[in-house]
Amino acid sequence: MDVESSLATGAPEVVLAAGLLVLLLVGAFQGDRAADGISWGGVLLLVAAAVPLFDQEPARTLAWGGLYVADALSRYLKLLVFAGAAAALLVAMPALRRQAIARFEYPLLVLFATLGMALMVSAHDLLTLYLGLELMSLSCYVLAAFDRCDARSSEAGLKYFALGALASGVLLYGVSLVYGFVGATGFDAIAQAVRGEGRSLGVVAGLALVLAGLAFKISAVPFHMWTPDVYQGAPTPVTAFLATAAKVAAFGLLLRVVVGAFGALAADWRQIVVFLSLASMALGAVGAIGQTNAKRLMAYSAITHMGFALIGLAPGTAQGAQAVLLYLTVYLVMTFGAFLCLLSLVGPDGAAREELADLAGLARTRPGLAAALAIFMLSLAGLPPLFGFMPKLAVFAAAVEAGLWPLAVAGVLATVVAAFYYLRVVKLLYFDPPAGVGSAQVDEGVAPILMLAAASFSSPLGFLLLGPLSAAGQAAARALF
């Protein structure tokens, strides 16, 4: 494929990269006074980057010498990532301004990370995989330490960087092993070699290391150790971005690697995925019980939910891939909605409040905010008739259909345990005496609209979108098989 055709196929990334350079120049010349303008410019840029996705053919198209693929799966995941990044930009500036850290670098870093995520979900080669992953990771390291005056934020950035660098080294070593034993880095070439030559110990070892590096990015146990500290220490808008768009992109990449490139080694990688799933569900569900900080609670919630999503990945079937995509979609909305509620939680002095005790009696001082947070918590718990029940049912059904019913049973048990700490939040909201928090009105801009939309999606109204989401997810999953 020539350069012109490659530019057309990779139009979302081309538009995003070109616009980023323009916004970077604006920030360099205008400074922090252009922060709001760059944020809105970033949102418009993400919309412009998403437009070519609707014009792309659903058929699989390779570009840039086979390093890049555009298909229904990449389109689905990019729309999720762009939506999550745009929402993160829309709600960030008011919160950052309250903390006196509203600088123009924030939207630029979010856009750089989003560009890396777009490359990740369209990766068709181990080198493209690494390029996109590092572009996302380096941006996220800086975002985690964005509040330079807060020791917790600096600590979060340092821990994230140190452990992330270790995970990247492990992943890169795995890539080198795969290349050494296969002689290629392209996904098609790897898949063909694995099918033709059969199981090779070196390739399996390389695959295990690649999975370890990717498991770090989705916070799967035992590669989760950074998650609670980074979620708590990073500014809340950054945490919301890391917990939503970054998780979706990393899991989408994991899906493409194990099913697309190493599908013939399903018997090998399934054992690793099942272990990651069981460990994540167990530790996430139990570890959250003793938490007193809301953001740390959401960190363990993310670990648990990645374990649930891995249940759908374990079968290695089209039904399982479709269930994973539905899970990622609903998880993104529910989690972002919960962080929107935390962004709106302030004390009478205008300072942010993050402790669970600060939620006590919120239904009496901010009933609308309490109702929205209760919907998100109950939906994250997977309680019917809320929409969060549906993706869990889908991944459990996929596991049972593939004969992995013990894994599905473990998921049900983990759901019961995890329901405790979600219900505890609802109990704090409605049955405890007020803690004097939330009296200040801080719902600026589009945050109330996004919160209402997310709460509606997480409620039983979300089932109205089940048909279109299932159809889009089915088409995206078929792109892998």
Best-predicted range by mean pLDDT (7-11, 173-177, 196-200)? 173-177
**CA-CA distances (angstroms) from residue 86 to 49, 237, 423, 462?**
11, 12, 30, 21
**439: confidence class by pLDDT, cuts 50, 70, 90:** very low
pLDDT at 346 > cutoff 80: no
Q: List pLDDT tens digits, range 81-108.
A: 999 999 999 988 888 888 878 888 999 9
> To the nearest whole percent, how much of the chain has pLDDT over 70?
95
Give the list of residues 6+ apart from residue 405 with CB closer than 8 angstroms, or none: 399
Percent of the chain having pLDDT more than 90? 58
Of 167-181, 197-211, 346-360, the range with the lowest mean pLDDT is 346-360
Average pLDDT over residues 354-366: 85
Is 257's pLDDT higher than 70?
A: yes
Give the C-alpha separation, 260 to 257, whole Å: 5
Q: Which of 242, 261, 260, 259 is nearest to 250 (CA)?
A: 242
Which residues have a Cβ under 8 Å from the Cβ of 371 and sit 6 or more positions away? Answer: 363, 455
- Give the model's pLDDT for residue 1: 57
Residue range 8-27: mean pLDDT, rounded: 91
Report whether 73 contacts 121 (CB < 8 A). Answer: yes
Phi-psi region of 457 (alpha: psi -120 to 50; beta: other; left: phi over 0): alpha
Retrieve residue 304's tokens.
């648990």
User: What confidence tens digit (pLDDT) does each residue in 106-160 have?
Assistant: 999 999 999 999 999 999 999 999 999 999 999 999 999 988 888 888 888 899 9
Please state, in angstroms and rounded to a whole number, the distance separating the CA atoms of residues 393 and 146.
Answer: 38
Enter the tokens of residue 370.
């309490």
> Would you call the peptide bond into 391 cis, given omega within 30 degrees of 0 as the criterion?
no
Prediction pTM value: 0.94
pLDDT classification of 200: cutoffs 50, 70, 90: confident
**Residue 69: which H helix or E strand, with range?**
strand 68-70
Q: Give the pLDDT confidence of 272-307 residue by residue, as tens digits.
A: 999 999 999 999 999 888 888 899 999 999 999 999
Closest Cα partner for 106 from 90, 130, 83? 90
Of the pLDDT bands very low, low, confident and very high (cuts 50, 70, 90), residue 26 is very high
